[in-house]
Amino acid sequence: MTRFVTLEVTDGVGTIRLDRPKMNALDIAMQDQLREVADEAAARTDVRAVVIYGGERVFAAGADIKEMQAMSYTDMVARGGALQDAFTAVARIPKPVVAAITGYALGGGCELALCADIRIAGDNAKLGQPEILLGLIPGAGGTQRLPRLVGPSKAKDLIFTGRMVDAEEALRIGLVDQVVPAEEVYQAALAWAGKLAAGPAWALRAAKESIDRGLESDLDTGLAIEKAHFAGLFATEDRTTGMRSFVEEGPGKAKFA
């Protein structure tokens, strides 16, 4: 089978690379490979942070519409769970994840970017959820993750109209976190991921799960999740290393294994 999604690891950073010419259209094969690679990145101990990258020209222009056009209602009932599971596998990677966005990130491409913890966009980026223009709605998490990120009103504007936003507007509404020249996107993402790859892996994992699970819960449940993770970190070498370094050397000098 042709590989459209791969994982490359260097210095603790795993790059999930999308490579299906010309536009990284997310067909069924690519969705399944995305889930496999996300699970691999989650399990590998040599991967401490992750970059999702579609290449210099495009992040991912959406689903494979020709493939979807041939699908019936029952086909999509059978497939819809696997589609969402592939994206959820990315969102649940228990390590810091950054999306490095160049060019188009539309439909499923935008939904994939929403699964990251941070989004760094090139100044040539175009993002949006144009499914409404096909008589559809986002089906890989867009109706849920987008309003949680930018708020319900802005999410409804994008989803109801199907319009694209450029990098400047995406930054203004909180859809992306940083905009850099297009040729610097991948290096900027690597720098962010590399800094965190050297951090306390168990504490970062606990922080990510506390935030993500807390956002899905009421405040009391979120506080209970935080309390459990906070106490649990006292059983880790991360906590021992960090506190010892603080006492002996001062803040910010700990070197985590």
- Domains (range + CATH), the chain: 5-197 (3.90.226.10), 201-249 (1.10.12.10)
Q: Kindly state the tokens that stand for 5.
A: 């999604």
Axis crossing angle, helix 201-215 with helix 237-249, rounded to the nearest 10 = 110
C-alpha–C-alpha distance, residues 57 and 188, integer Å: 16
The one catalytic residue among 54, 113, 131, 206:
131
Whether 131 is a known active-site residue: answer yes
Kindly report, residue by residue over 123-138, the tens digit of the pLDDT: 999 999 999 999 999 9
Q: Cβ neighbours of residue 36 under 8 Å, at least 6 residues apart? A: 5
Distance (Å, whole) CA 125 – CA 131: 18
Exactly one of 63, 91, 99, 155 is catalytic; which is it?
Answer: 63
pLDDT given for residue 232 in this prediction: 97
Low-confidence ranges of the chain (pLDDT < 50): none
Contact predicate 93/42, CB 8 Å: yes
Please say whether the beta carbons of 175 and 149 come within 8 A. Answer: yes
Catalytic residue among 12, 107, 108, 142: 108
Q: Is 63 a catalytic residue?
A: yes
Say what the pLDDT of residue 165 is: 98
pLDDT at 130: 97
What is the number of alpha carbons within 13 Å of residue 112 lying toward its C-beta? Answer: 32
Catalytic choice (111, 140, 188, 201): 111
28-43 helix and 73-91 helix, angle to the nearest 10 degrees: 30
- What pLDDT sits at residue 1? 72
The CB density around residue 222, as the number of other CB atoms within 10 Å, is 16
Pairing type for strands 13-18 and 5-10 reads antiparallel
Sign of CA dihedral 10, 209, 129, 162: negative
Q: What per-residue confidence (pLDDT) applies to 257?
A: 87
How far apart CA 244 and CA 231 sit, in angstroms, is 17
What pTM, to 2 d.p., does this model score?
0.95
